[in-house]
Amino acid sequence: MDFTQINLIPATLNDCPVIQNLARFYAYDISEYYGDQPGWEMEDDGLYGAGIDYKRYFETKDSFPFIIRYKDKLAGFAIIDKKGSDTTIDFNMAQFFILRTYKGRGMGRYVARWCFDKFPGIWEVMVMPGNEGAYRFWRKVIKEYCGSNFTECTRYVAQFNNEPRNFFQFSSL
């Protein structure tokens, strides 16, 4: 993969439908782990739902959505916000998706590191329990990024109906 051909383009409200459509592929990928859970199943029209309304990320100054392109083709999206699990968190990886075409080729690692460098501060990445692919990815990327200087735990989160989430916290300063 030619990393010089990866572009992270700040997304505008006009890009919201693109991210919402890409989120259907995200839901498809997640269905491997959560396909029988409410909100993650295939809908009766034969399409996977997007799980959430991504427009909310365009309606606040504390969210930073990006479209990812490789050689000018859609490759995924990343959304960073300032909604951590506590007030010590500067940035949260709210959403992150790389199309399957580009997985396993270093694109996700490259984009994640770019995000960490672009937004210096105390970071948090949350992973839903059971999503083993995401857990392994984030653990490896964060460990490569900051060595052993990160914390990892599982906590129940009020904003997610007191359901558990796995957390990685680290500094990109």
For the cut 80, the answer to whether the pLDDT of residue 103 exceeds it is: yes
For the cut 70, the answer to whether the pLDDT of residue 27 exceeds it is: yes
Residue 84 confidence (pLDDT): 87
Q: 3-171: what CATH class?
A: alpha beta
| Every domain of the chain and the residues it spans | 3-171
For the cut 60, the answer to whether the pLDDT of residue 35 exceeds it is: no
User: What is d(CA 145, CA 72) in angstroms, rounded to the nearest whole number?
Assistant: 27
At 116-134, the pLDDT tens digits run 999 999 999 999 888 888 9
Q: What is the pTM of this model?
A: 0.90
- The amino acid present at 127, given as its one-letter code, is V
For the cut 90, the answer to whether the pLDDT of residue 141 exceeds it is: yes
At 56-80, the pLDDT tens digits run 999 999 999 999 999 999 999 999 9
Residue 95 confidence (pLDDT): 94
Task: Give the mean pLDDT of 152-172.
Answer: 86
Q: How much helix, strand and coil, in percent to the nearest 5, is found in the chain?
A: 35, 30, 30
